[in-house]
Amino acid sequence: MSDTNTLTALSDGLAAAVETAGQSIVRVDARDRMPATGIVWSADGLIVTAHHVVQHDDAITVGLPDGSSVAANLVGRDPSTDIALLRTEAASLTPATWVEAADLKVGNLVLALGRPGRTVQATLGVVSALGDAWRTGAGGNVDRYLQTDVVMYAGFSGGPLVDVAGRVAGLNSSALARGVSVALPASTVRSVVETLLAHGRVRRGYLGVSTQRVRLPANLSEQLGQETGLLIGAVVPDSPAEQAGLFMGDTIVAVAGEPVRHHDDLLAKLSGDRVGQPVPLRIVRGGQVVDVPVTVGERE
């Protein structure tokens, strides 16, 4: 095959991927400035998009692939992962076909798609990095780090990252990281959507302390098998921490038997399934290691 034919085949394949995925991409009018993009989650009218583009809880409009517009209601949102779920009365929509991040490789061609107007727009790039689970700046758990070099045009947030077969590999957001294009993988989107459908929100655990990472004394470091812990600098009045008897100056070193070395470790241990449950905290107080049971609260 000649170089021209190869390029033509590649070009036609990318256009076909855009056409396929475009049947599952909608316009989301939920803020005062430019509309954003959403992805059809289910045929009966569920739309997933980015939390930061849904600035109104009411008067939300969704522009469908056929050019019509329908009203939408907010089912729920999770600011920590920048995901929002909308419900419309539209029927017979075409749900997106998702592909797991584990099936992607660094260097794979991908497209970022958006529908901030009536038609689909696209930009091309590659998967530039894949990594382990990570935590957003707002404390949200993301199952896999998925970075690309696609250009995020205005209105693309909430739209899909698409592979060359037209399958959705992730939900694009310009609010997750500065200076890089990252997407939320299918597994994270699925987990958040299921939780929003069940509860209308994603539950996060809460202790009511401010902490600072500190180095442990050599004897305690050897005893505990870790070099650092979290020194409590303040305890919120009437919080789970105060009710459990934690004090400023205590140092948290473990939650439920799992070491806590950084603030992210503590956030990770305060998962939604622990809200309302007693959880043992291991702390250092006055040079002694003490176990304190704390009933985890829910972060507002």
Catalytic residue ranges: 52, 82, 157
Between strands 36-40 and 288-295, the pairing is unpaired
Q: Which residue, chain included where needed, has tokens 């849904």?
A: 54
User: Which residues have a Cβ under 8 Å from the Cβ of 228 and sit 6 or more positions away?
Assistant: 213, 214, 215, 216, 261, 262
119: helix, coil or strand?
A: coil
Long-range contacts of 279-282 (CB under 8 A, 24+ apart): 279/255, 280/255, 280/256, 281/244, 281/246, 281/252, 281/254, 281/255, 282/252, 282/253, 282/254, 282/255, 282/257
6: helix, coil or strand?
A: helix
Structural element, H or E, at residue 196: helix 186-199
The CA dihedral of 222, 223, 226, 228, to the nearest 10 degrees, is: -90
Token representation of residue 11: 């070009």
The answer to whether residues 242 and 209 touch, using CB atoms and an 8 Å cutoff, is: no
The answer to whether residues 232 and 251 touch, using CB atoms and an 8 Å cutoff, is: yes
Distance of CA 49 to the CA centre of its chain: 11
Which of 178, 112, 110 minimizes the C-alpha distance to 151? 112
Structural element, H or E, at residue 53: none
Q: How far apart are CA 254 and CA 210, in angstroms?
A: 16
